[in-house]
Structure 1
C-alpha cells in the first residue's frame, strides 16, 4: 500500500482537498486491496477551508513518509508559505516522493524551487501572475496537467481529477484507473486543455455530441472517418469538425485515436489476446501503425505496457 499525503494549508480550496482525499481513498488494486493510505497533513490541527474549518490529523513530518504528496489549491495565491512547509515539501521530494499540485497549489510548489527548470501549469486565471513570479518555471497555460516525472502540476480544480486518474494509471495501470474514474462518475481522459474553458459560451443542450461519442466508444473496431461521423450527426463535415472541437477540445480523429489507445490498454492489461489481435479489436488497420500510435500516446510499446500492467497469467505471451 502506498501513502498519499495531502497538504492542507489555511485557505485551502475545499474542492481540491476533497478531490485528492476521495479519489485516492477509493482506489482498489486488481486484487481488491486498498491501494493507498491517505493522510491529511497541516502545520496545525485546525485550518480554515473556505466557509468552514477542518481538523488535520497529521503534521508536516508525516509527509516525509509519503509516496505521493498532493498540494491542493489555496484561495490566496499571495499567501506567505512558511519555511517549515517549504522544508517539508523539499524533504519529501528529496526522499523520493512524487509531488503534485492541484490548481493554485502550483504557487506553493514553485515557492520551494521544485518547479525550477520544469514545465508546469495552474489555473488559467492566474497563469500570468504565476509566470511573472516564477520566471524559472516554463508555464503551459493550455494543458490540463503536466507530468515532469517526480513533479506533476494540474490546472483548474476539476483538472485535479484528470491528474489523479493519470497518477493512478501510472502506478497501477489503465484498468485500475478506469475503475476509479467510474466510481467518481468522471471521464478517465479528457482531450484538449483548459483553453476550451476560458470565457467560452455554453453550447445549447441540443448540440451535445454525447450520444455520438458513446457510439464511437462502442464501435471502435469499425472504420470511422469524419465524413461518416458528420453524416451521423446530421451536419456538414466542416460544421461537425468545428462543433466537435468546441465540445471536446480535440479533432474527431485525435479523440478517436486516444480512445482506441485507451481501450487497447485495457485489453492488454486484462486479456491474453496478442498485440495484433488487440490492434484489430480497437480499429487499427495495421499492427505497425498501432504500435507506433500506442507508443506516441502512452510512451511504451504495447508489449512493454503489458509486461508492466498485465493482470492476466504471468506466463501470458505478450507478442
Structure 2
C-alpha cells in the first residue's frame, strides 16, 4: 500500500482537500494493482478552508502522518490571502521526507512552502501564472516555468491552475501504474459530467487542441530565448510532430520555427541595446546567440548596421562607427 500524505494548510481551497481522495480512491477501487491510503495531515494553525465558502475543519493526522509517507502533497493557501511563512516544523518534516526518497508534489501556491525548504533550488518548478513572477523574485535559484501545467524535476512535482491538484495526482498515478490506469481513472472521474462519454471528450479535446494553436509554445519560447533550442524541443513541448509544428508556425507566424526563433532573438537584442548598457557578449548570451560574432552577423543582416551603431542612433547620439 502506498501512503499519500496531504499537508493541509490553513485557508486551502476546499477542492484541493478532496481531490487526492477522489483520484487515488477511484484508482484503488477500479484497478486491483493500485492500493493507496490518503492521509489528511494538519499543518500548524489549521482552522478552516479558504474562500469563497470557508468551512471550519479538523483532520485526523498531524505532521507525524508524513513520517512514513510515500508521497507528500502540498496544496496552496487561498491565492488572494496573505501567504504565511511555513512553520519550522513543517520545513523540517518536508526535508526529512525528501531525505528518505519521498516524492513531493506542490499544487498552485503550495510551491512557496516547498521552495522555502530549499529543495527546489537549481530545479524547475511552476505555479499559477499570477504568481510566477513572485516565485522567481522570492526564490531566484529556482528555474520558474511560466507556462507549465505540471513540471516534474526528479522527485518533485509542481503544478499550476485550478485543476493543478488533479493533474499532479494523475501524474503520480501514471508513474506508479502507467498511463493506461491514469487515463482510465481520469475518465471515471470526468465521464459522469458528460452526456456522451468518451466520444464527447474526444471532440472536446480535438477542438481545444485546434483552437489553442501554438500560443503556449510561443510563450514557452519567450522565456527560453537564451537556451539552445531546436525544432524537436518545440515539437515536444507542443506535443505534436515536427511536420505539424512547421504547419502551425507558418500559419500563425508566417515563418518556420528556426526563422521565428531567430527573429525573436534579434528583437530581444534590439530591446536590450535600447534599454540597457550591457556589452555585446552579455547581449548575445541573453538572446541565445552562440557568440558575439554570430549576433553581429545576424544583426547586420536585419538592420544593416552594427549593434554599437544601432544603440547610438536609438539613443539619439552621433554614430562614431566601430565594430562593437
TM value normalised by structure 1 = 0.59
1:57 is aligned, of 56, 60, 83, to 60
1:245 is aligned, of 190, 213, 216, to 213
The equivalent of 2:74 in structure 1 is: 71
Which structure has the larger Rg over C-alpha atoms? 2
The equivalent of 1:27 in structure 2 is: 27
The equivalent of 2:127 in structure 1 is: 122
The equivalent of 1:162 in structure 2 is: 167
Indicate the SS of the match to 1:101.
strand
- The 8 Å contact of residues 26 and 34 in structure 1, kept in 2 or not, is answered as no
- Bigger fraction of residues in helix: 2
- The 8 Å contact of residues 77 and 107 in structure 1, kept in 2 or not, is answered as no
> CA offsets per residue over residues 121-149 of structure 1, 9 Å max, x none?
00001111111000111100101011012
- The 8 Å contact of residues 147 and 216 in structure 2, kept in 1 or not, is answered as no
The equivalent of 2:144 in structure 1 is: 139
1:112 aligns with 2:117: yes
The equivalent of 1:101 in structure 2 is: 106
1:214 aligns with 2:217: no
Q: Distance in 1 between matches of 2:40 and 2:178?
A: 25
Indicate the SS of the match to 1:69.
strand
Indicate the SS of the match to 2:28.
coil
Task: Flag the 1:103–1:77 CA change in 2: closer, same or farther, 3 A.
Answer: farther
Once the two structures are superposed, the pairs formed by residues 1-319 of structure 1 within 5 Å of their partners are: 1-28=1-28, 32=32, 34-43=34-43, 47-50=47-50, 51-75=54-78, 76=81, 78-185=83-190, 213-214=202-203, 243-245=211-213
- CA drift of 1:176 comes to 1.1
- The 8 Å contact of residues 8 and 47 in structure 1, kept in 2 or not, is answered as no
Indicate the SS of the match to 1:164.
helix
TM value normalised by structure 2 = 0.58
- The 8 Å contact of residues 151 and 157 in structure 2, kept in 1 or not, is answered as yes
> CA offsets per residue over residues 228-264 of structure 1, 9 Å max, x none?
xxxxx9xxxxxx997352899899995566xxxxxxx
Task: Flag the 1:249–1:160 CA change in 2: closer, same or farther, 3 A.
Answer: farther
Indicate the SS of the match to 1:5.
strand
Deviating above 4 A after TM superposition, structure 1's stretches of 4 or more consecutive aligned residues are 210-213, 246-257
Q: Distance in 1 between matches of 2:13 and 2:201?
A: 35
- CA drift of 1:184 comes to 1.5
Q: Distance in 2 between matches of 1:153 and 1:115?
A: 10
User: How many aligned residue pairs are there?
Assistant: 214
Q: Distance in 2 between matches of 1:139 and 1:173?
A: 27
Q: Distance in 2 between matches of 1:212 and 1:180?
A: 14
- The 8 Å contact of residues 173 and 182 in structure 2, kept in 1 or not, is answered as yes
- The 8 Å contact of residues 122 and 156 in structure 1, kept in 2 or not, is answered as yes
Task: Flag the 1:244–1:211 CA change in 2: closer, same or farther, 3 A.
Answer: farther
- CA drift of 1:14 comes to 1.5
Indicate the SS of the match to 2:37.
strand
Indicate the SS of the match to 2:57.
strand
The equivalent of 1:262 in structure 2 is: none
Q: Distance in 1 between matches of 2:82 and 2:135?
A: 9
